[in-house]
Structure 1
Amino acid sequence: MKVSIVGASGYTGVELIRILSFHKKVSLNQIVSRQFAGKRLRSVFPHFSKSRYEDLIFDEEVDLNSSDIYFLCLPHEPSLELVKQLSEKGKKVIDLSASYRIKNKNVYPEYYGFEHKYPELLEKAVYGLPEIFREKIKKANIVANPGCYPTATLMAVYPAVKEGVISEDKIVVNALSGISGAGRGLKQQFHYPEAFGNSYAYNPVKHRHTPEMEDVIKAISGKDIKVRFTPHIIPVSRGMIATVIFETDLNKDQLVELYRLEYRYEPFVRIISRPPQIKDLIGSNFCDIYVDFDSKTGQAVVISGIDNLGKGASSQAVQNMNIVLGFNEEEYLKDISLSSILFP
């Protein structure tokens, strides 16, 4: 199978190249980046020297006919149009933007600043969280790869939502993200002197990932459960921790058992006995989940950890590719972690 990566010089695109360099069942056929068009992969990213795709040359434009499956690592509006073009060619697409994640097209003007022109494709697109929508992903031509914050949050809340054990129609989420979640674009607050030793919340009342989470939760439960979401930036390159709090009548033992049963066959979910740590997850496709209960407040406390560039983006995209193409879901994803020694 031939693969193209569009937007291949951004963080998620480069991470896809790293992972697919090990994947023997597909061939990376085209990498697209207008910024580096005409340059070899190894000259732009020297760490790919002597690797499988070191001599690939960045193209300026997408060849709509050259590959079987396309990863789109683009801003939302360019992805909106390119998914349409590729769909008309009968190609399979895994879109890492938010352009096809939310079924309600009326959300896009308010949260993303554009009108969704292709509601018929929006209906066909499948939300690419395998632990929840695996059977639909198998048949999908358009996979809307989830955002990193929604992945961490939904993995933490899914068993409770599915089984209807949340007492109130509200969950509270506080999440911490590495700086790479903002992409490679130059912004003052992400320059080293600004980011080092600093941490802050942003968009605490109206974050664009909130309707994505609520949309999926409603698809699971049939209920309008509101998400009170606050994201924070922390001074690390990559990684994400989400703390989810909700009212429940279950005790700790019952909650832990619920989560263990729900995720017992999931190859990339680990139910752990202490809160997750970012260094255990860097470069991997794992989601670590810790489940506890605060008897004083009657609230469940579920903490999930992922790599925002891994399970929150690129490795999850490869997991979706494996499912779409009929490969073993774990194919070339179990041994891609990066040593925590590299991230002191």
Structure 2
Amino acid sequence: MSFSVRLLHRFGNFVLDVDFTAPAGVTALFGRSGSGKTSVVNAIAGLFKPEAGQISVGGRVLYDSERGASIPVHQRRLGYVFQEGRLFPHLSVQQNLGYGRWFAPGGAATRAEFERVVAMLGIEGLLERRPGSLSGGEKQRVAIGRALLASPQLLLMDEPLAALDEERKAEILPYLERLCEHSEIPIVYVSHSMAEVARLATTLVLMEDGIVTRSGPASEVLSDPESVPALGIRTAGASLRATVAAQEEDGLTRLETTAGPLFLPRVEAPVGALVSIRILAHDVILSRTRPEGLSALNILATTVTAVRLGDGPGAIVQLRAGEDLLLARITRRSAMALELTPGADCFAILKTVSVAQQNVGRTG
């Protein structure tokens, strides 16, 4: 189910001027604080009425300024998950979930649907507890379950992990991946964390100062050198798809990619599982000849597909690695010395320990 958003609204000196269409899956809105991401989500939810534009989900028009149409918030059939769970403290987890069930169209969601959502989010053991006894990650899983049990046509998630520490984020991300993989409901996911976006998004919308600067399939946007200024030099990177081939005795996991084998610190996934590995551009070293005598275990044969010279001393090189694209951040001087131009063959070198666990995700 696709959806489209076209908005024009003025908040004092700030102008929100947004226009994008997204297919089914997870659409991530990414940008710096103050870029207008939450305003877009609130307009979709009907929490404010834009001066002009149109919002539709699966062909159902939620708002159209030209026709004077605006469906009330409670009739839009949207689920909204905020930064904090916002659970009812006097109700048990089961009762909080039931609050969402009874708002489902046509009455309560079925028992089978309730059990499916509870199992998917791993909250079976929490049903009799109250929110005050839950961790931050557990509260967010319950909040997501409550939103899903209202049978929404679209799920809005505004920085759902922003209030959590790194340990809680690592706890809940696998559940979000499961939700994104198995749910048929389109999801709008707001975040300023590139690690989250790279693991979850199928479509990426980049925002800056109230406008959309780029949108499209997440894999394409993340691997495009022209997107790097918006993504951030320090967080820019692309993803490789891989299959878990073996769990080695020395604690490493051997992965197979279309560009060759890749070794990482143990990845908690069974042999045969499909994973995505986000590789930061500044962690990639390039060589025109295959190096020998290195401690780095990962050496992938690649071909240069694009080079973007920055305003300063840096350069971003896009590489074809098998069927995937990588980015490497090097200096202008190195790019010129190595004669890196489109079509040039080179080797991408990656230290085994440079890929953090948060940058390894499960994929369908």
TM over 0.5: no
Structure with bigger helix share is 1
TM-score of the superposition, structure 2-length normalised?
0.27
Larger strand fraction of residues: 2
